[in-house]
Homo-oligomer: A and B are copies of this chain.
Amino acid sequence: MKRIAILGSTGSIGRSTLSVAESYSERFQIVALAAGSNLEAAFEQALRWKPRLVSLHFERDAGALRARLKQTGLSDIEVVYGTAGTVKVATHAEADFVVSAIVGVAGLEATYEAVKAGKTVGVANKECLVAAGELITAEARRQGKPLLPIDSEHNAVHQCLRGGRMEEVERIWLTASGGPFLSTPRSEFSSITVEQALNHPTWKMGKRITIDSATLMNKGFEVIEACRLFHLPPAKVEVLVHPQSTIHSMVEFIDGSILAQFSVTDMRLPILYALTYPERIQSDMRFPVGNLRHLDFCPPDMNKFPCLRLAYEAAEAGGAKTVALNAADEVAVAAFLDDGIGFDDIPRIIESAVSASKSGTMGSIAEVLEADAEARRYAQERVFELQKKSAPRATSVV
């Protein structure tokens, strides 16, 4: 029986993890859940899973949950709140495996503490590897515990890497759907609408990651994540556009052999893989291999998608630059979604914020959070400038 703590239990990955646990209830026990501010969902999860511990973001929600659990005779479930509460979930003595799936920098500290506490951590939180990747992977190495990627690309890489040793890896190929604007001319990028950008061809996801997929920044983040997770320089992490998103990623070995992984596009598969690693267990998530017909590929266009280039540059610089990249992207995407700035303003804001940020490595999660806040402030100022300059709709320049 593997005992699981979930950071971000009411989000998409959290719910998929619980769905996997539901399907294999003889194998997995849920011991601790950290949710955000969705009291109703947290209450239902507590009722269903009867964990030892639940954490919510706000103190008042924690109080309300405690009261409702008492009414239903579940007063032995401990309810906590805030960052301290999340850390308590992440380091729960009974948990063997921690799923890190809180969106944004909010999950950083708890994930770091889980790794420090010697837990095996499944990472679905992008910021853990983009902003704090050097810190968290160094700690995992110290602990001698694997960091298991819970996203289709890095999970695919993890699987392909089993075909050899790390010293035998020539390079990694991350596949990218190319997003909705793969064939849109560069000249039309300034007039791309929010609706167009939210229309992702292969995956249904949250809004920010959908926009990040449209700018290819999501693939850029994945390049950084791959560098951190697999200890590779950016030059050894390549991107290949593959519109069907069938092949999730590939590993090229020094002898010239390439291994590729594919499967259905269902997040429960990488979750199951991480939860059962190094074992594999039977699932009903079958890709109909016999129905394969066409797979297409092309190289990414870094001129059309400057976010990808910015990510490579930040990956090379490391430390504070990757923190700024992530922070500025979040601000710029939010501004685009609120219709304040143009689609092609997103890379402009990010480039400006990364360029203005300090460089150097991050010594602690506190430093990461500080650099993050600073980059956010800077990017937000650039957004305000843009909004002032051009009303009703920005089309250019920082």
The contact string, 1 if C-beta is below 8 Å from chain B, for chain A 279-298, is 11111111101101111111
Q: Is the CB of B286 within 8 A of A297?
A: no
CB under 8 Å from chain B, chain A span 297-339: 297-299
Note all chain B residues with C-beta closer than 8 A to A164.
Answer: 162, 280
Q: Which residues of B contact A78 (CB under 8 A)?
A: none
- In the complex, the answer to whether B258 meets A168 with C-beta atoms within 8 Å is no
Is A297's CB under 8 angstroms from B296's CB?
no
A253 within 8 Å of B (CB atoms): yes
Q: Interface residues of A toward B: which range?
A: 35 or more
Chain B residues near A160: list those with CB within 8 A: 163, 259
B257:A273 contact, CB within 8 angstroms: yes
A242 → B minimal CB distance (Å): 8
In the bound complex, CA of A238 to CA of B292 (Å): 13
Interface contact A259-B159, CB-CB below 8 Å: yes
Interface centre among A168, A173, A290 (most CB of B within 10 A): A290
Proximity bits, A8-28, B CB within 8 Å = 1, else 0 = 000000000000000000000
Which of A106-114, A209-217, A261-269 forms contacts with chain B?
A261-269
Distance in angstroms between the alpha carbons of A259 and B240 in the assembled complex: 18
Q: Which among B247, B283, B294 is the interface contact of A294 at CB below 8 angstroms?
A: B294
- Determine whether A254 belongs to the interface, using a CB cutoff of 8 Å to chain B: yes
- Chain B residue at minimal CB-CB distance from A161: B163
Partner among B255, B280, B295 whose Cβ is within 8 Å of the Cβ of A254: B280
* Nearest neighbor of A266 in chain B, beta-carbon distance: B256
CA distance A284 to B254 in the complex (A): 9
A250 contacts B by Cβ under 8 Å: yes
Q: Is the CB of B282 within 8 A of A257?
A: no
Tell me, rounded to whole Å, the shortest Cβ–Cβ distance linking A29 to chain B: 20
Contact of A285 among B256, B269, B285, B293 (CB under 8 A): B256
Q: Mark A229-242, 1 if CB is under 8 A from B, else 0.
A: 00000000010100
A103 touches B (CB below 8 Å): no
What chain B residues lie within 8 Å of A159 (beta carbons)? 163, 257, 259
Pair A254/B283 contact, Cβ less than 8 Å:
yes
Q: Is A272 an interface residue (CB 8 A)?
A: yes
Complexed CA–CA distance, A341 and B294 (Å): 37
Query: Does A260 touch B at the CB level, under 8 Å?
Result: yes
What's the nearest-Cβ distance from chain B to residue A161, in Å?
Answer: 9
Whether A290 lies near B299 (C-beta < 8 A) is yes
- A294–B257 CA distance with the chains assembled, in angstroms: 19
Set of chain B residues within 8 Å of A283, measured between Cβ atoms: 254-256
Q: A259 is contacted by which of B238, B259, B279, B293 (Cβ under 8 Å)?
A: B259
14 contacts between A and B (CB under 8 A): A159-B257, A162-B164, A240-B289, A254-B283, A255-B280, A256-B264, A256-B283, A256-B285, A256-B287, A257-B261, A258-B262, A260-B261, A293-B296, A295-B295
Kindly list the 3 A-B residue pairs having the minimum CB-CB distance in the complex, ordered from nearest: A256-B285, A292-B297, A168-B280
